[in-house]
Amino acid sequence: MMNILQSFRMAFKSIATNKMRALLTMLGIIIGVVSLVVLVSLVTSATSSVTSQISSMANDMITVQITDSGTDPIKLEDLGQIESLSDVELVAPSNSSSATAKVGTDSYSVSITGTNNAYFHIQGYELEAGRYLLQSDLDNNAYAVVLSYEAAATLYSRTDVVGQKLSIDSIKYTIVGVLADSDSLTSSFASSNSVYIPYTTAMRISSSGWAGSVSSGISTLYVGAANETAIDAAQTETEAWLLARFGDSDAYSIRSNDTMADTMESVTNTFALLLGGIAAISLLVGGIGIMNIMLVSVTERTREIGIRKSVGATDRFILLQFLVEALVICLMGCAIGVLISTVCLAVVNFVVEDSTYRIAWWIVLVAVAFSTLIGAGFGLYPASKAARMNPIDALRYE
């Protein structure tokens, strides 16, 4: 124990004697730790934010894409069969395209979606003003439209526009509702000038081209499970209904938000691992620099080693002395790197609005462990070289 404490004292004394050289030696470790901690923390924070927002948005939603409806496409009247499944609560059709909206003499590009009332509840959209689309709008093929908050702000610079007329592709619609603004990922899908009309109205005007193949059958469905715990059962039931309908599992694809969140987490974890691996290369380069400087230090202190051995210092003590010095340099560089990383993330949070990037402390522990391994690994050869010196030859060294 005394030998270890003495080795640490000697290491700090050696570093204090050659401050500039020690700092330059630490530079590779500092850069490596900053790269590792900052990059992985940024990716981890972004992943956590996106995953939590995906988890908060319509967790009970299932998305169905019909890729080949064959001779028996799903019609609007068929949705009741899916809705009658025990673990399904709501079903909404969706068909989207781009269109041109005119307000006065100004024209705007909008994303127009034909759907029904259930769509807004499945997606978790809330109202700023007015109402959602009603079943009566679908029954009467009404020219009613619901605007996203962003669409209302872009087209009219205000949201109290319920009751006004809006021209979309030369057809006059009555604005019946405006969706509420929100910072959540759910409502971000309702942004970018999105507008919503009754699905039956979309079917009626499909000959104009924007609704694509809507007249031949529904291509996209959103299914809302009875609750979050029933989503797997609802997905299984829906898939069984689709398989019975089409007789071919390749005719459709089905996924839930849980799957999206898992996929997102898997991709970002892989990305974080990749970035961490790249940053770890800097630490290895720093380790090579430490070994180089420690070899120089051993050469410079050859006579000192000879004197220590001549007065009774063992090979083990000499080995420990230089190994501890390499470890101290690595860990000091690691500490400085973590401190700089904290400052860097604070600057990013200050510069980027609404950002909440935090240090992933588990990666700090990884950085400390990796720095320790580098200090021990790259310091071992210089330390063993010093320990194996013949004291007579060391004393005669000029």
Token pair listed for 293: 């400087």
DSSP 310-352: HTT--HHHHHHHHHHHHHHHHHHHHHHHHHHHHHHHHHHHHHS
Tens of pLDDT, residue by residue over 374-383, are: 888 888 888 8
Which residue did the predictor score with more confidence, 119 or 213? 119
Q: What is the pLDDT of residue 178?
A: 94
Q: What is the pLDDT of residue 130?
A: 92
Token pair listed for 172: 């006059």
Q: Is the pLDDT of residue 208 over 50?
A: no
Which residue did the predictor score with more confidence, 366 or 56? 366
Q: What is the pLDDT of residue 206?
A: 66
Chain-wide mean pLDDT for the chain?
82
Q: Is the pLDDT of residue 55 over 70?
A: no
**What are the start-end ranges of the E strands in 214-341?**
220-225, 252-256
Q: What is the pLDDT of residue 255?
A: 84
**Phi/psi of residue 70, each to 5°?**
60, -135
Q: Is the pLDDT of residue 75 over 80?
A: yes
Q: Is the pLDDT of residue 279 over 80?
A: no
**What are the start-end ranges of the E strands in the chain?**
61-66, 88-103, 106-115, 127-130, 144-147, 165-168, 171-179, 194-198, 220-225, 252-256
Q: Which residues of 12-41 are buried (b: 16+ CB within 10 A; e: fewer)?
A: eebbeeeeeebeebbebbbbbbbbbbbbbb
Question: 9-18, 53-62, 152-161, 386-395: which has the highest mean pLDDT?
Answer: 152-161
Tens of pLDDT, residue by residue over 96-140, are: 888 899 998 889 999 999 999 999 998 888 899 999 999 999 999
Q: What is the pLDDT of residue 212?
A: 42
Q: What is the pLDDT of residue 191?
A: 52
Q: Which band of pLDDT confidence, cut at 50, 70 and 90, is reported for residue 15?
A: confident
Question: Cα separation of 280 and 215, whole Å?
Answer: 56
Q: What is the pLDDT of residue 147?
A: 94
- The arithmetic mean of pLDDT across residues 248-257, rounded, is 84
**Phi/psi of residue 326, each to 5°?**
-65, -40
Q: Which band of pLDDT confidence, cut at 50, 70 and 90, is reported for residue 215?
A: very low
Q: What is the pLDDT of residue 257?
A: 67
Q: Which band of pLDDT confidence, cut at 50, 70 and 90, is reported for residue 240?
A: very high
Using CB atoms within 10 A of its CB, is residue 270 exposed (0-12), middle (13-18) or buried (19+)?
exposed
| 76 contacts 200 by C-beta, under 8 angstroms | yes
Q: Which band of pLDDT confidence, cut at 50, 70 and 90, is reported for residue 277?
A: confident
Q: What is the pLDDT of residue 152?
A: 92
Q: Is the pLDDT of residue 192 over 80?
A: no
Question: Cα separation of 380 and 221, whole Å?
Answer: 63
Question: Cα separation of 268 and 49, whole Å?
Answer: 12
CA 366, distance to chain mean position in Å, is 20
Question: Cα separation of 355 and 347, whole Å?
Answer: 11
Least confident stretch, 79-88, 153-162, 269-278: 269-278
Q: What is the pLDDT of residue 209?
A: 44
**Phi/psi of residue 92, each to 5°?**
-135, 135
Token pair listed for 249: 């599992």
Q: What is the pLDDT of residue 216?
A: 61
